[in-house]
Amino acid sequence: MNLALFDLDNTLIAGDSDYEWGQFLIDRGVLARETYEAQNAAFYEQYKAGTLDIHEFLGFALRPLADHPGEDLARWHAQFMDERIAPMIGEAARALVRRHQDAGDLCAIVTATNSFVTTPIARAFGIGHLVATEPERVAGRYTGRVAGTPCFREGKIERVHAWLSGLGHRLADFPVSSFYSDSHNDLPLLERVTRPVAVDPDEALGAAARARGWPVISLR
């Protein structure tokens, strides 16, 4: 059995689900546009530039989960899936996932975006394993804080090792371990697998992939 890991945002989907969730809530009037829109955009630019303080961002991104009851969040997320996420899922991405599943590979999405936003997206791809940043919950309510290590940069390595250990595996156990990503922020994990693949990469990852002879593909 081989291992296939997939980044989500701008890799399997043609956009950033974390950013779009914030914009969706702004457009719905759930978040005040004048307060949140510029900050949401600024954090996204920091992510692309590789300067994001993940804990500062999570304090911003997880706050709406704590401010609203679960039934409202679930209703909004269903609308978000229909309106924002479904148009971002292309057939090429679905076909890539199916090829690995049909080959019997162990498949997982590994994403910095929190599991509230991404669990339904993983379900839409038919991927049963999700390694994501986990929002803290107490007595069934989100607190607005992160639980454990954020699944970001080197944190992705830690979280993947922990997930595999829970299944009785190690990364070294797999003859081939693939990781598909668009972002230079994922270089730490890309450097740990046996088959790193750049997918519609940003400029920094594209340059690194070409220099190292990694495959570069497009799902667009």
Catalytic residue positions, numbered: 7, 9
Which has the closest alpha carbon to 151: 3, 39, 9? 9
- At 44, which amino acid appears? Y
Q: Is 140 left (phi over 0), alpha (psi -120 to 50) or beta?
A: left
Q: How far apart are CA 196 and CA 5, in angstroms?
A: 10
DSSP string, the chain: --EEEE-TBTTTBSS-HHHHHHHHHHHTTSS-HHHHHHHHHHHHHHHHHT---HHHHHHHHSHHHHHS-HHHHHHHHHHHIIIIIGGGB-HHHHHHHHHHHHTT-EEEEEEEEEHHHHHHHHHHTT---EEEEEEEEETTEEEEEEESS-SSTHHHHHHHHHHHHHTT--GGG-S-EEEEES-GGGHHHHTTSSEEEEES--HHHHHHHHHHT--EE---
